[in-house]
Amino acid sequence: MLAALRQAGRRQWLRITVAFRQTVANYCRGLMQLACPACAAIYNVPDSMIGEGRIMQCARCANEWFARPLPAEATLPAPMPASPAPQASPPAPGASTRAAEASAALPSPRAPIALAPPSRMAEVPASPGSESLLGQLPLRLAWAASLGLVVWGGYFAWTERARMTELWPPIARLYRLFGA
């Protein structure tokens, strides 16, 4: 029973993931997702079709409702206000001025950091033979195993065609196609 619950949870998670991906894709295409308030039927409608607002009718239950576009401030996040730089408190009497001098020597956090230009090595494309043979070995073994499995399956299907036809009669059409 626990396995069945886990499987059901995976299916539900998959449905949620697919729905989220579809919603993001529709948003990127300029589609607005509307849901009928009565029966929860979902419609993907172009933003331009809604305009300032429009009366919509559900195709499933014939319910009518007024659809409004999302407000502009709801679609774009508000810009973050610039916070003032924290003021350094004066050092306590008798405290070392060395710490104050060290903090004054540090660059301010808003100062742009100059980055070194990328090295020339990043521009050189890797040559096709640059991979080691050891790195190619698993890929070659996988291809060889796949090819061997296909050849073995074809040989088995050809040599055991009488038995295969007894077990599954529709395969006789395939054998007739190849002249057997």
Task: Give burial (CB, 10 Å; 0-12/13-18/19+) of 130.
Answer: exposed
Last residue of a domain, one of 25, 43, 73: 73
In percent, how much of the chain has pLDDT > 70? 51
Mean pLDDT along residues 58-67: 88
The residue type at 2: L
Of 45 and 83, which is predicted with more confidence?
45
**78, part of any domain:** no
**9, part of any domain:** yes
**116, part of any domain:** no
Nearest to 102 by CA among 92, 88, 112: 88
- pLDDT at residue 88 in the model: 54
**151, part of any domain:** yes
- Asked if pLDDT for residue 51 goes beyond 70, the answer is yes
Structural domain boundaries, residue 157: 134-177
- Asked if pLDDT for residue 38 goes beyond 70, the answer is yes
Last residue of a domain, one of 30, 51, 73: 73
Nearest to 33 by CA among 41, 148, 114: 41
**163, part of any domain:** yes
Return the ∠ at Cα 76 (arms to 72 and 82), rounded to 5°. 120
d(CA 105, CA 127): 47
**173, part of any domain:** yes
pLDDT in tens, 119-171: 555 555 555 555 566 678 888 999 999 999 999 999 999 899 999 999 999 99
Both tokens of 122, joined, read 């990043």
Taking all residues of the chain, what is their mean pLDDT, rounded to a whole number? 73
**153, part of any domain:** yes
Last residue of a domain, one of 20, 47, 73: 73
**93, part of any domain:** no
Q: How many independent structural domains does the chain possess?
A: 2
